[in-house]
Amino acid sequence: MMPDPTEAPQASRRPFRPHQKRLVLALLLGCGACGTTIVETTEQNVQPFAPLPVYAEWWSQLQVCSARVGPLDRVEWFTADGLTQNGGLVLAKWEPPHRITVLANQIETESVVKHEMLHDLLDGDPSHQAPAWNACGV
Instruction: Decide if pLDDT at 5 tops 70.
Output: no
Q: Is the predicted pLDDT of residue 96 greater than 80, yes or no?
A: yes
pLDDT at 113: 98
**In the prediction, which pLDDT does 43 show?**
77
Return the biggest CA–CA distance within the chain.
75
Q: What is the mean pLDDT of the chain?
A: 80
- pLDDT over 90 (residue 94): yes
pTM exceeding the 0.85 threshold for the entire prediction: no
The pLDDT of residue 65 is 97
pLDDT at residue number 39: 59
- Confidence tier at 14 by pLDDT (50, 70, 90): very low
Residue 120 pLDDT more than 90?
Answer: yes
What are the residue ranges spanned by the domains of the chain? 40-136
Evaluate if residue 35 carries a pLDDT over 60.
Answer: no
Average pLDDT over residues 51-60: 98
